[in-house]
Amino acid sequence: MTVYQAPREWTRVHPVSPFLGSGPVVGFLAIYGISRLTPNWVFGGEEEYGPLNEVPFPLIILGGLLIIGAVIGFGVLAWRRNEYRIGDDAMYHRKGIVFRQHRQARLDRIEAVDVVQPLLARIFGLAKLDVQVAGGGNSGVDLSYLRLGEAEALRNEMLALVARAKSTPDAVVTPDADLASGVVTEQERPAAASGPAWAVTIAEHNPQTAVPAAPERVVVKVPLSRLLLSLALSSATVVLGVTVIGTAIAAIIVGSVVAKAFAAAVGTSLFAGLAFFAGLFSFFWNQLNAGFNFTASTSSDGLRLSHGLLETRRQTVTPGRVQAVLIRQTWLWRYKGLYRITMNVAGYQDAEQQKATTLLPVGTLDDVLRVMELVLPEADAEALTRAIVGRGGEDGFTPSPASARLFDPLQWKHRGVRAGEQALFIRSGWLTRDVAVVPHARTQSLGVKQGPLQRLRHLASFAVHSTQGQVRPIAKNMELDDALELLDQQSERARTFRTKVARG
């Protein structure tokens, strides 16, 4: 079996990468060409054929081949300039033809390391490595694509170096670190993967790496039956069901009037109809793909999350990097005791937020407590439970006053905020119940905001500013004096806990 290692010298990504990367462009050109050759009545027009039918077919094929060849040729040139390597203190990546980019991901700033396999990459046994670095923006590194074993080897060694640097912060990590600490010496490193450079590795599920992955302990695994139940009890299912049933009943009663109204809404275009149904389908598919075979584990590397149906993702979030957590229970999930957890992890881009910041797609209260123990190991389980199952000012929470009833009639009784020993809890929601949890040590900044209507009622909103993500911890419509007092107290807590973390 081939043993993979993280390269210390500059190494190119896999030669198949430009072909995989050109797939969307080629697909767009193919769809565009087909749409222009398709009779116009398919799109709701009156003429039979489109304007491209006047062009000789061989000329269209030749033009398409020239465009595809140019795209692939540019991809090959970009591949020759796409190189990476790992050092003792950072992972380096350089690419670009006209505009050259040279990035480094410092190991002590790494927030998460993800190994992602889109469907097409899985067929060829390839994967891309996403390295998320503190700082946000475009500070991360994306290596597309590597052999699965190469991606795993690079991830394992990066995490081992991070763990060693944290255990001995004053020491300099070198390649001579022993194997027991997760890093092998240059003499112990096996030879790189043999074979021609163009060879494609087919579906190596458990590649052997020079630095083995740290042992892990499975904490939560989401069964498929529970995931399907959560989709059946989602608000989108209810809306879809009511729409279908209501339309059917109206069609029976009114007849052709409803049919004409539906045709006017959707349009006579076949593609518009497909887009309409695709939008309904996308929500369910995204939830199913993100929660399929979901497993949360813990190891010395940190929190490990694995999930995906067609596109698989294996995340490793390093310890202490979770900035905020949101525990959500929709109104239908309440009857089955189900919850969903999302998190803010610094570094993830907008496009990755939905896929990469799900801490638990669906689980019971016991699952929630076990998962929360991974990201807040010193949190009080009893206090967290009270924050989840209670409402408003119960269990020592500071509630919204009755004066907020005027412009917050449905929510004000359900709002509350409480500072625990390790974190701040903010709960809200009437139909959908939310509990935001922000560790004191991860508080970025604080603020009190007061709108014109709030000033009339002596109210204010207290906000904890976290990193970019889906969790936005805001305690709305608090009594102004309570909000200002909480601002002073939480500032002191954040300062104290940050000092403790800095001192180790």
Predicted confidence (pLDDT) per residue in 253-273, tens digit: 766 555 565 555 554 455 555
Residue 196: what pLDDT?
Answer: 37
CA–CA separation, 493 vs 485, rounded Å?
A: 12
- The residue-averaged pLDDT of 355-381 equals 86
- CA dihedral sign, ordered 486, 498, 372, 309: positive
Lowest mean pLDDT among 256-260, 308-312, 341-345, 376-380: 256-260
For the beta carbon of residue 503, count every other beta carbon within 10 angstroms. Answer: 6
Q: Would you call 468 exposed, middle or buried from its count of C-beta atoms within 10 A (0-12, 13-18, 19+)?
A: middle
| Contact present, 301 and 410 (Cβ < 8 Å) | no
Residue 175 confidence class, pLDDT cut points 50, 70, 90: very low
Residue 297: what pLDDT?
Answer: 92
Residue 209: what pLDDT?
Answer: 80
Residue 357 confidence class, pLDDT cut points 50, 70, 90: confident
User: Which of the two residues, 464 and 211, has the higher pLDDT score?
Assistant: 464
Question: 161 Cβ partners below 8 Å, 6+ apart?
Answer: 86, 88, 107, 173, 182, 183
Helical spans, DSSP H, in 359-413: 365-375, 381-389
Residue 166: what pLDDT?
Answer: 62
CA–CA separation, 174 vs 1, rounded Å?
A: 27
Report CA-CA distances (Å) from 99 to 81, 95, 204, 334. 11, 8, 35, 53
Residue 427 confidence class, pLDDT cut points 50, 70, 90: very high
Residue 204: pLDDT over 80: no
Q: How many helices (H) and strands (E) does the chain have?
A: 14, 23
Residue 197: what pLDDT?
Answer: 35
Q: Which two tokens stand for residue 71?
A: 């795209």
pTM above 0.85, yes or no: no
Q: How large a percentage of the chain has pLDDT more than 90? A: 32
Residue 179 confidence class, pLDDT cut points 50, 70, 90: very low
Residue 192: what pLDDT?
Answer: 37
- The residue-averaged pLDDT of 198-220 equals 68
Residue 121: pLDDT over 50: yes
Residue 29: what pLDDT?
Answer: 62
Q: Which two tokens stand for residue 128?
A: 């891309």
Residue 191 confidence class, pLDDT cut points 50, 70, 90: very low
- The residue-averaged pLDDT of 469-474 equals 89
Residue 218 confidence class, pLDDT cut points 50, 70, 90: very high
Residue 221: what pLDDT?
Answer: 94
Residue 201: what pLDDT?
Answer: 36
Residue 426: pLDDT over 50: yes
- The residue-averaged pLDDT of 345-353 equals 63
- The residue-averaged pLDDT of 165-186 equals 43
DSSP state of 42: G
- Please state the φ and ψ torsions of residue 439, each to the nearest 5 degrees: -60, 140
Q: Nearest-CA neighbor of 354 among 308, 296, 414, 406?
A: 308
- Residue the block writes with tokens 């892990």: 216
Q: Which two tokens stand for residue 62?
A: 């030749």
Residue 411: pLDDT over 60: yes
User: Which of the two residues, 318 and 387, has the higher pLDDT score?
Assistant: 387
* Phi-psi category of residue 131: left, alpha or beta, with phi > 0 → left and psi -120 to 50 → alpha: beta
Residue 469: what pLDDT?
Answer: 80
